[in-house]
Chain A
Amino acid sequence: MSKTKIEEINRNIYDIKNKDEYDFKIKKGLTKEIIEEISKQKNDPDWMRDFRLKALETYNKLELPTWGPDISELNMDEIATYVKPKTKLNNSWDDVPDDIKDTFDKLGIPEAEKSSLAGVGAQYDSEVVYHSMKQELISQGVVYTDMETAVREYEDLVKSHFMRCVPVNDHKFVALHGAVWSGGSFVYVPKGVKVDIPLQSYFRLNSPESGQFEHTLIIVDEGASLHFIEGCSAPKYNKVNLHAGCVELYVKKNAYLRYSTIENWSKNMLNLNTKKAIVEEGGQVDWVTGSFGSKISMLYPMSILNGKGAKTEYTGISFAGKGQNLDNGFKVIHNAPNTSSVVNAKSISKNGGKCTYRSLVRITENAKNSKSSVSCESLMLDDFSISDTIPVNDIRTDEVEFSHEAKIGKISDKTIFYLMSRGLSEDDAKAMIVRGFAYPISKELPVEYAVEMNNLINLELEGAIG
């Protein structure tokens, strides 16, 4: 019996390679001189240059993780950490060089900006090449700009928040990020302002044997709300590229932030990204994540619920195909009374791909009357893929309700039988099950991203699974 084939992700759009042209590319490696040169190129204030150098010291002291995927192939001597594209920051797509604009056109960014976004940032290699936001948000005091501009124009705000949520000694790749960061977005939503239409930053890495280290810093002030979308992709090269970005989210009292990501890096990418949110009293942060690309991914967004009644939800799906090792998950620290977290994680492994769900739920002594509910489901689509679930549940007080459930398996014969008894063909039944499996995640995404995700999980039906 032939098998249903669930296609590898169609990467035609994402694999478009532009000529490796740049205004400046730092030499490969990681030395004090290189960091000083990056700092000079970026015209950093003194405090930022000193910060970078200190981060480099921390990087040199820290060890590689002793757990998770093997990242020994990463050789920082072979990675250029700063590539300045041959354009400045623009606020009109007409001013962006044709080849770069063409790439973003094909990725659908300018079109999405017109139809469904309140603002867009587009980063190409190490620098943001386009940034724009609707006038009505500007007049409400919303700030959405590239990080370099923010360092200059909102220095006090940046200084008091930059790498405070994610300290440089968190792990080795955060320290690396602190030393070489470039690009990224800064968002400030003033008290009480509700940004109803999402903002989106898209990160594109074109240059081979290089890294992207964008920094995203978002502050949603008291009572305000925001939906921020992050997209990322790169064409595939033979040698490894590195992504070690950092996302810091500050959700103030009674504020709300939804952070959505569709990650579709190329399959030569090591995605060692760090994302954290600090949530104050009554605030809520929701993470929605689709992880499809990268050769290796180690990504565990984290919510620190510091205020009474703070909430978080994580909804994520990973799809690992041939040659991919996606080690993703979520961390939450309940650090105040009446906090709550809900986790819904799914993964699909096929064609030798490996998915790992790795997580932490910690409910501290301060978090009386907190609740946490975790659900993980993994689908295996063949017998040479791998799916692991490695959750840690650390409960340090009695006044809690905590539950965790996980399931691993293949498509259930009973469910197929049930659907067939309702008149569906076997193939349609199986296709429906896989789409249904991903539905709880795709329904949380903005519609154009949900369409993209459904395209990514493209079914080619040729008979029966299994």
Chain B
Amino acid sequence: MENIKLNETPVRTSRNFNINNIKLENIVIPENLEEFKNVTISEIGSKITIGSNVDKFNLTYGLGEFFTNQVNNNSNYKANIVVDSKTNKEVKVEFKLDSNNSNLADNIEITANESTKATIILKYESDKDVVGYHNGVIRAKAKENAVLNIVIVNLLNELSNNFISIENNFEENSKINYYIIDFGGKNSITNYFSNIIGENADNKLNTIYLGKDNQLFDLNYIGELYGKKSNIDIEVQGALTDNAKKHFKGTIDFKKGCKKATGNENENCILLSESAKSLALPMLLCSEEEVEGNHSSSAGKIGEKELFYIMSRGFEIKEAMKLMVRAKFNKILENIKNEDLRIQILEEIDKRLD
């Protein structure tokens, strides 16, 4: 049982605002991790390889020293995914936490070589009664003109804890598009960092989260723009019900020299109960003149007019609310081309809002 402080923002603000980091109490951290065996990998062609040799790494941010070190030194699943396909190939890696594999510390490195394309799906689930622990590090690199789509789906149960650190590097004209579906975990804590160095590089991060009961989501997204004409778009759509809580910390940092760079950040939280809580810190940091940065953030319940309209079409209030949430999420979900996965996510939304 440990009390831990993690996921520090890149710039601090007043301690009284309770957002510079997150403090978690009574977290069970497993010490000896046995090999994680419950992994399924979809069929892959010759243009994408998955090896198990992963180098040691340093993270610019990450959740905190402990979590980085655990994956560096005691990871129980390693994958080195190298993309050489010129057309968009898909790879799906599914982790299922069960009674024999309840702890996962995965170390995943993804490299898209020059002018390649791929979609990598990483899905995390757990059996109903398993008290699971997931601490993962995902490092992605897109070389010149490469396009990477990375889909992360967290459907862990509410007894488990989910910790993810992500770091992305961009070469010239490269693109990395993320779709993060963050539904599971008693605590789901994510640190996301994009180091956008390449000229004309582009990063799109699309997240949907859905919290119920006493779930806590702490999302710390950081995009640093160095490359000329580079871009980052962060789109976060979420809904909270019961006593669920969300902390969104989004930073777009225009570094000196990133002329003509652009950055947009939009965060919207639907509050479905009077005790759900939304805390947000959408930061824009700027050391370059010739840029355009925008952020917007909003929170509140579903508009009464919209609800009334749907209910006037014969839907009950619960169904109407589900429809509204699905509609909000759909803009992001429709980019997930894997239909089975998309259907599963939609079913999961319905189940969680029942």
Contact = CB atoms under 8 A, between A and B. Distances in A.
Contacts of A397: 271, 274-275
Interface in A200-236: none
Interface stretch (B56-64, B103-111, B289-297, B322-330): B289-297
Contact of A67 (B20, B288, B295): B20
Nearest to B296: A405
B273 A398 contact: yes
Contacts of A65: 14
Given A383-B288, A405-B295, A399 B274 contact: yes
Contacts of A77: none
A398 B253 CA distance: 31
Contacts of A391: 281-283, 297
Given A382-B289, A390-B13, A395 B279 contact: yes
A390 to B, nearest CB: 5
A410 B14 contact: no
Q: Which of A385, A402, A466 has the most CB atoms of chain B within a 10 A radius of its CB?
A: A402
A358 B20 CA distance: 13
Contact of A358 (B13, B271, B275, B289): B13
Interface in A401-428: 401-410
A392 B288 contact: no
Given A360-B17, A402-B298, A394 B293 contact: no
Interface in B183-198: none
B156 interface: no
Contact of A400 (B279, B289, B299): B299
A339 interface: no
Interface string A246-290: 000000000000000000000000000000000000000000000
A230 to B, nearest CB: 23
A453 B185 CA distance: 53
A387 interface: yes
B278 A385 contact: no
Contacts of B259: 383
A367 to B, nearest CB: 11
Given A382-B289, A391-B281, A408-B293, A402 B299 contact: yes
A392 B17 contact: yes
Contacts, number: 141
Contacts of A409: 291-293
A407 B252 CA distance: 12
A337 to B, nearest CB: 12
Given A66-B15, A67-B12, A406-B295, A365 B283 contact: no
B286 interface: yes
Interface string A161-202: 000000000000000000000000000000000000000000
B280 interface: yes
Contacts of B297: 391, 393, 402-404
Interface string B1-42: 000000000011111011110000000000000000000000
A123 interface: no
B274 A360 contact: no
A398 B284 contact: no
A392 B247 CA distance: 10
A395 B274 contact: no
A67 B20 CA distance: 10
A388 B285 contact: yes
A380 interface: yes
Nearest to A63: B15
A401 B96 CA distance: 40
B296 A388 contact: no
B51 interface: no
B97 interface: no
Given A385-B289, A395-B277, A408 B17 contact: no
A362 to B, nearest CB: 9
A391 B251 CA distance: 11
A67 B282 contact: no
B254 interface: yes
Contacts of B294: 405-408
Nearest to B293: A408
B295 A398 contact: no
B47 interface: no
A380 B279 contact: no
Given A392-B19, A406-B294, A407-B293, A398 B276 contact: yes
B147 interface: no
Contacts of B276: 398
A393 B299 contact: yes
A351 to B, nearest CB: 12
Given A388-B284, A390-B11, A390-B13, A410 B290 contact: yes
A278 B278 CA distance: 24
Nearest to B253: A388
A402 B288 CA distance: 30
A405 B266 CA distance: 9
B272 interface: yes
Contacts of A299: none
B284 A406 contact: yes
A396 interface: yes
Interface of A: 65-68, 358, 360, 365, 368, 378, 380-410, 466
7 contacts: A380-B286, A384-B256, A391-B282, A395-B278, A395-B300, A397-B271, A409-B293
Q: A-B pairs with the 8 shortest C-beta distances?
A: A398-B271, A67-B12, A408-B293, A383-B289, A395-B299, A398-B301, A404-B297, A380-B289
Given A395-B271, A401-B300, 6 more contacts: A66-B15, A67-B15, A380-B291, A389-B285, A398-B276, A398-B300
Interface of B: 11-15, 17-20, 254, 256, 259, 269, 271-301
